[in-house]
Amino acid sequence: MHSNTELNRLDGNNDSSSRSSSNRTSDHMNTITRHHQILSEIESKKFSWSHIKDLFINSVGFFTNGYQIFIINLIVLMMGCVYYKENTNTVPVYIDTFVKASAHIGILIGQLFFGFASDRFGRKRIFGIELIIMIIGGLGSTFSGSTATGMSVFVQLFLWRFILGFGIGGDYPLSATITSEGAKTKNRGFLLAAIFAIHGFGVAFAALISIIVLAAFKNAVYANQNALDYVWRVCLGLGLIPACIGVYFRLRISETPRYSIEVNHELKNGKKKASFKEFLAHFSKWKYFKILLATSVTWFCLDVGFYGVNLNSGLIIESIGFSEDIVKDPWKFLFQNSIGNLIISFLGILPGYWSVLAVFLVDRIGRKVIQLTGFGVVGVLFLVLGFGFNAIRSASSVLFIILFTVTQFFFTFGPNTTTFIIPGEVFPTRYRSTAHGISAAFGKLGAIVSQIGFFQMRDIGGKNNMIPLILILFSIFMFIGFIFTFLLPETKRISLEELSESFHSSDQTQQDTHI
């Protein structure tokens, strides 16, 4: 038998345990209530000025991305006219390759690093830092210069653009995650597409600014070809202005409501922040891994073709005879290249991005249908351009530009937009940023492979001789992307919580998806 003292102590422990259990239950119920309240507020919020401000804050990095990544195509051509006059105004292939690939290497690493860091430390703590890194890398690129005994301008440009790319890489998972977690279900796709579509304006403005600056320096370039050394620096520097404005606003954002309520609740209940070991355990199951595999492979296939043609559009335009000879008239060659890029941007890239948004197509017909359409049409067009390269070029360089522009339209009205949107929706909050970063990193791996492969192959058998075969190879990757798209679920008009529960619920994560 127990003594009275022992019985009292046991009763006290039971009361304490009951109170503790009751408190935990009460806290859990309060969290659920608060979570539903937050979701209700998000779903009922009408489109307002705050959404426009958020659109600017979240998309300014993608404007910088589009501008800085695609203007390098023209920058390298200008630098060839300054630093390699003896080599027919052309930068050697190996230098061209690594200068263009440097930013993509940085982007790949940045996507992985910032994706994991965002899940580990929160969106608010990280957002803004990556934009500051972009600005530092962009300014360093602008002021790169050769020294008598130090690094050449191209080595410096490689290093600074790697830093620029590291910052750009962080923008992919962060912008997608922050936008997705703060959007109402019925127009989440629209907002994600709108954020990414600003990338198209960056590409277009890169061509437009190049035209304006070249026009301003026309007489100076004809008087002294070395004036192009100023032109490329001015072009790079002007593209940083939006980022410099946006960084102030990024450093003042609040934590996303979904991350705050879900992760903070987990911490209060003794659950640690997301670890990479836990991430691997979750995605070791095929039903979860197949989604990550599909988002990664489709993005890889997209970027093989998208960056393969866009980072080398100047060479492609030159190969069809659209522009002047670079040795005979460097200024005219560069100006016509800029005009060609502007035409492609305004008639192909921008309409493609914004057609996804027209009457909320992305939220009406769905991401999967748009992605399948894009991959299928671009794959066919690459086959046409590849097998019919010489015939089309002989018939009309304008016809080639038209077909090339249509290809750009279906790139952006298709996988170039949806491969960004889907990873921002289909993964649970706990792993969303990390999984998006991994998917995007595979995309940049595709861009790097494409860039190196393009320059290894292009001149086999003669200058630009292998471009038709390269276009045919790109078509194969488009069809692979088409096939892997079938592994993806449709995410239109389904809440993030429903997506998480439907495709990622398990004994380990069931609690996460119901909170």
DSSP secondary structure of 61-95: HHHHHHHHHHHHHHHHHHHHHHH-GGGTT---HHH
Q: Do 114 and 170 meet the contact criterion of CB atoms below 8 Å apart? A: yes
| Average pLDDT rounded to a whole number, residues 377-388 | 95
pLDDT at 29 over 60: no
Rounded alpha-carbon distances, angstroms, from residue 159 to 77, 103, 153, 208, 488: 19, 9, 10, 26, 37
449-459 in b/e burial notation, b at 16+ Cβ within 10 A? bbbeebbeebe
Domains assigned to the chain:
59-261+286-513 (1.20.1250.20)
Q: Do 323 and 156 meet the contact criterion of CB atoms below 8 Å apart? A: no
Cα 38 from chain centroid (whole Å): 29
What are the tokens at 374? 């894009």
Closest CA to 228 of 76, 428, 456: 76
pLDDT at 267 over 90: no
Q: What is the pLDDT of residue 382?
A: 95
Q: Which range, of 175-184, 270-279, 417-426, averages the lowest pLDDT?
A: 270-279
Q: Would you call 121 exposed, middle or buried from its count of C-beta atoms within 10 A (0-12, 13-18, 19+)?
A: exposed
Q: Place 515 in a pLDDT band, splitting at 50, 70 and 90.
A: very low
Cα–Cα distance between 162 and 105 in angstroms, integer? 7
| Average pLDDT rounded to a whole number, residues 295-307 | 96
Q: Would you call 225 exposed, middle or buried from its count of C-beta atoms within 10 A (0-12, 13-18, 19+)?
A: middle
Report the predicted TM-score, pTM, of the whole model to 2 decimal places.
0.83
The pLDDT tens digits of the residues spanning 64-102 come to 999 999 899 899 999 999 999 988 888 998 898 889 889
Closest CA to 414 of 462, 478, 467, 476: 478
What are the φ/ψ torsions at residue 375 (nearest 5 degrees)? -60, -45
Q: What is the pLDDT of residue 269?
A: 55
Q: Place 6 in a pLDDT band, splitting at 50, 70 and 90.
A: very low
Q: Which of 128-137, 303-312, 356-365, 493-502 has the highest mean pLDDT?
A: 128-137
| Average pLDDT rounded to a whole number, residues 315-334 | 76
pLDDT at 476 over 70: yes
| Average pLDDT rounded to a whole number, residues 52-57 | 85
Q: Which range, of 199-208, 257-266, 309-318, 460-469, averages the lowest pLDDT?
A: 257-266
Q: What is the pLDDT of residue 510?
A: 43
pLDDT at 271 over 60: no
Give the containing element (helix H, strand E) for 202. helix 188-216
Cα–Cα distance between 171 and 80 in angstroms, integer? 31
| Average pLDDT rounded to a whole number, residues 451-462 | 85
